[in-house]
Amino acid sequence: METSKKVKQQKKKVLLMGKSGAGKSSMRSIIFSNHVARDVRRLGATIDVDKKRVKFLGNLLLDIWDCGGQDAFTESYLTSQKSYVFGDVGVLIYVFDVESSDFTDCAHGNSNRDLQTYESIISALAEHSPNARIFTLIHKMDLVANEYRNDVINSKTAAITARSGRFARTIGTYATSIWDETLYRAWGSIVNSLIPNLDVVEDGLRDLQRVTEAEEVVLFEQNTFLTVTRVGSEVGDENPNRDRYERLSNIIKTFKNSLSSFTESNSSHQFDSFTIKTRIFNLIINRLTYNTYVLVVLPPGEAELQCARLNILSAKDEFARIESVAEGIEDDYRSMRRK
């Protein structure tokens, strides 16, 4: 494949909406601006629309529109700014505050402002961006007692789905909190749905998993440390800890922030690699490309560990090419792999 071909960047407009105080700006700051949960309490309310452009995996640009949720702004979005706000949207992320007194279960016949506003926004989106993806987050779940969480999630998910119109069959709903890994799970799924060449990336990871004989190989985006994708062996697939990727995202993000504090560096690459060796497994986290880190879980043994390091090093150029695959050159790459 000729690497001189110009990569076409994928741009996606992402609307982040919800009632004022629902936690939209806090979660955006944690995921994309390296804040920790205890620091976001100092953030003020968003005024009108706060726009941020985020580069993800080299060729994916996310234009995130954090929309203030005060009533006056929402009315403006739905009237005078309607086509401007809701035009050309790739993804709508709508955040519901789980403790909002304006959210009641419509299944019981109650009307409420939160769902009425959401329904109006869905209607505007269907008019101006009918092919957009919809994700709703039931946020601040840490405020709900454990024994009630499943009932609350099921009830609110049903109410949201009932108001989602043409998007009801494809909507993704997640329960989240800034205090645990659920926030990373939700945002990882959202961003994962936007990656244009994910199957090509997974092919490359399978090759790496095969040559390293790894139990599991996981790819992370370098700045957010959101999980891009993973592949695994039968042994890796039997791991009962289904939320391990999101926990790792949270742990490593905290580790990176700590390194930044100690080194007084704002660089997104505070470490190149680190290794954990135990009696039952080896684990390597290594920078793979400028935009990614790879986690490789191996059986114990020094020889296996050193071979895996060499294979990761050898794979870097390959993944740099994969990362640049986009519209216009993806078919060339597939043809090269078949030869």
pLDDT in tens, 182-199: 898 899 889 888 887 788
Q: How distant is the alpha carbon of residue 32 from its chain centre?
A: 10
Instruction: Specify the pTM.
Output: 0.81
Greater confidence (27 vs 141) lies with 141
- Grade residue 40 by pLDDT with cuts at 50, 70 and 90: low
Q: Mean of the pLDDT values across residues 75-87? A: 94
Gap between the Cα atoms of 148 and 124, Å rounded: 34
Gap between the Cα atoms of 54 and 32, Å rounded: 8
In contact, 179 and 144? CB cutoff 8 Å: no
pLDDT score for 269: 55
- Chain-wide mean pLDDT for the chain? 83
Q: Which of 67, 65, 46, 69 is nearest to 54 (CA)?
A: 65
Q: Beta strand 91-97 with 273-277: parallel, antiparallel or unpaired?
A: unpaired
pLDDT score for 132: 94
Q: Which two tokens stand for residue 281?
A: 């497994």
Asked if the model's pLDDT at residue 338 lies above 60, the reply is no
Expressed in angstroms, the distance from the first to the final Cα of the chain is: 11
Asked if the model's pLDDT at residue 316 lies above 70, the reply is yes
Q: Mean of the pLDDT values across residues 284-290? A: 90
Residue 336 has a CB neighbour count (10 Å cut-off) of 11
3-class DSSP state of 113: helix
pLDDT (tens digit per residue) in 215-264: 999 999 888 888 888 898 888 777 777 778 888 887 887 787 777 666 66
Single-letter residue type at 122? I
In contact, 332 and 250? CB cutoff 8 Å: no
Least confident of 54-63, 66-75, 127-136, 280-289: 54-63
**Sheet-wide strand order for 172-175:** 49-56, 60-67, 10-18, 91-97, 133-139, 172-175
pLDDT score for 42: 63
- Grade residue 145 by pLDDT with cuts at 50, 70 and 90: very high
Asked if the model's pLDDT at residue 58 lies above 70, the reply is no
pLDDT score for 123: 96
